[in-house]
Amino acid sequence: MAETALINNVEPPARPAGWRGIAADWSSDQRAFKNVSWGKAMMWIFLLSDTFIFSCFLLSYMTARMSTTVPWPNPSEVFALTIGEKKIPLILIAIMTFILISSSGTMAMAVNFGYRRDRVKTAALMLATAAFGATFVGMQAFEWTKLIVEGVRPWGNPWGAAQFGSSFFMITGFHGTHVTIGVIFLIAIARKVLRGDFDVERRGFFTSRKGHYEIVEITGLYWHFVDLVWVFIFALFYLW
């Protein structure tokens, strides 16, 4: 008994000081990410890789714009809408940005009600978020159509530097694809929440743990990332 007590009372080794201590924390699965599920960890890794891709796109756009000798089109003129015989610059983009940022609020509330296991409110807020996202994609399709009719192509445009068209379609198209995937995912998860799949552990994708609504939070991580990326696109592409 004395030996058992002695063994149980043995103190763990002291944590190294300085940078070695930090390295020890992040290299030990008993300290870092101990309470993080695989789903959430994999989503963070995916978002990190996606961050690199969007960063490359935006850096390439900035490089092309700063290095071209041909005048760059003025976004305030290119993205203006004529309403009542008056051109209003960036009005469509401002509405799109407001809609997408608002969707982050509904998504955050959905996560909150998800962990409270309020199925109806969680599903309703996720569907509202999906509706915001679908509206954003629809307005982006209108924007694309307008510019294509006006002569913008990936290889040129009527207002100046040819790189404008390729940058626009590549960056906004890649982001729009992310939003579209997010909308589909939101609808699918909202349907599962509303049916009670997470309460009865109905077999299927993302329903392996009974009473567990973490997938709602994981979906929220993806959606907030998409919203954050749009802020950078809006600032660099439409305001610069």
Asked, for residue 24, whether it belongs to a domain, the answer is no
Residues 6+ away with beta carbon under 8 Å from 159: 73, 74, 77, 78
Q: Tell me the whole-structure pTM to 2 decimals.
A: 0.81
Candidates 150, 146, 152, 142; CA nearest to 176 is 142
**pLDDT value of residue 5:** 43
Backbone angles phi, psi at 114, to 5 degrees: -65, -45
Asked, for residue 2, whether it belongs to a domain, the answer is no
Domain holding 78, by residue range, is: 38-238
Structure tokens, 47:
């978002």
Q: What is the pLDDT of residues 121-161, one digit of tens each?
A: 999 999 999 999 999 999 999 999 999 998 888 888 888 88
**pLDDT value of residue 239:** 86
Whole-number percent of the chain with pLDDT over 90 = 49
| Distance of alpha carbon 55 from alpha carbon 232, whole angstroms | 10
**pLDDT value of residue 199:** 73
- Vertex 109, ends 219 and 204: CA angle to 5°? 35
Task: Please compute the mean of the pLDDT values over residues 221-229 and round it to a whole number.
Answer: 95
Asked, for residue 153, whether it belongs to a domain, the answer is yes
DSSP 118: -
Burial class (CB in 10 A: 0-12, 13-18, 19+), 49: exposed
| Distance of alpha carbon 213 from alpha carbon 206, whole angstroms | 9
Asked, for residue 32, whether it belongs to a domain, the answer is no
Which amino acid does the sequence have at 80? A
Crossing angle of helices 91-115 and 119-149, in 10° steps, is 160
Asked, for residue 29, whether it belongs to a domain, the answer is no
Do 97 and 140 form a contact (C-beta atoms < 8 A)? no
Which amino acid does the sequence have at 154? P
| Distance of alpha carbon 159 from alpha carbon 88, whole angstroms | 18
Domain holding 134: CATH number?
1.20.120.80
Residues 6+ away with beta carbon under 8 Å from 160: 70, 71, 72, 73
**Residue 82 binned pLDDT confidence (cut-offs 50, 70, 90):** confident
DSSP-assigned beta bridge partners for residue 18:
none
**pLDDT value of residue 182:** 96
Asked, for residue 23, whether it belongs to a domain, the answer is no
Q: Tell me how crowded residue 3 is: count the other CB atoms within 10 A of its CB.
A: 7
DSSP-assigned beta bridge partners for residue 83:
86
| Distance of alpha carbon 204 from alpha carbon 193, whole angstroms | 13
Asked, for residue 102, whether it belongs to a domain, the answer is yes
Asked, for residue 49, whether it belongs to a domain, the answer is yes
Total domains present in the chain: 1
